[in-house]
Amino acid sequence: MIELENVSKRFDQFLCFDQVSLIIPDGSIYGLAGGNGAGKSTLLRLIAGIYRPDGGEIRIDGKRVSKAAAKETLFYLPDEQYYEKSATPLTIGDFYKTFYPQFAMDEYRYLLEQFGLEESAVADSFSKGMKKQMFIAAAICAGTKYLLCDEVFDGLDPRIRKKVNEILTSAAKNKKMTIFIVSHYLEELEQICTEKGFLHKGRILTQEEWNKAL
């Protein structure tokens, strides 16, 4: 379970969050919507331990995310991925296997095939959507309990978005993976997520509160 308790974050004079609390149950697919600049990506980076909160606490299975044991249970998939220019999908899989011993290489290669990605091709020659598919496959195969996805549908055509929905839903069901997705694609979140929230003016709103805020 991921828990945020009274989390606050400030950048200079800008207050990004003010005492945000949230519980993401195990096995759920939680979607967080919000406009550009609402702080969705910042919230993911806080949970991943990249940023530290200025107030409050973030826990994963009862452990603070600053602890290495907590971080080892999650895979963070940012909107922009970084890799060596000469990397191929296979070398990227090998790279992740050094950090995630449970990385399922055979399944990863199968997903690459399903996406139509050549495993020995230079990844830098891929389009943004193709790179996104490659890293989604890696994230699913890392063997972690939690997956944090930032704008996972961005750059994907409708056919691939449907396939990604199916893969994420299967991972939550069959791998008992808890998935946290932040996105401005509200329609996609409604199709896949078991729970949703809306980030607005530093607060996480329910569906009813969001409708009133519009």
145-173 CB burial, b ≥16 within 10 A, e <16: bbbbbbbbbebbeeebbebbbebbbebbe
119 inside domain = yes
101-134: per-residue pLDDT in tens? 999 999 999 999 999 999 999 999 999 899 999 9
180 inside domain = yes
Q: How many domains does the chain have?
A: 1
10 inside domain = yes
Nearest-Å Rg of the Cα atoms of the chain is: 17
150 within 8 A of 182, measured Cβ to Cβ: yes
37-56: per-residue pLDDT in tens? 778 889 999 999 999 999 99
Contacts of 144 (CB under 8 A, 6+ apart): 72, 73, 74, 75, 100, 102, 177
The Cβ of residue 35 has, within 10 Å, a number of other Cβ atoms equal to 11
49: CATH: 3.40.50.300
pTM of the model: 0.90
Instruction: Quote the DSSP letter at residue 100.
Output: -
60-108: per-residue pLDDT in tens? 999 888 766 667 899 999 988 888 889 999 999 999 999 999 999 999 9
214 inside domain = no
Task: Determine the structural domain holding residue 20 and report its residue range.
Answer: 2-209
152-180: per-residue pLDDT in tens? 888 888 888 899 999 999 999 999 999 99
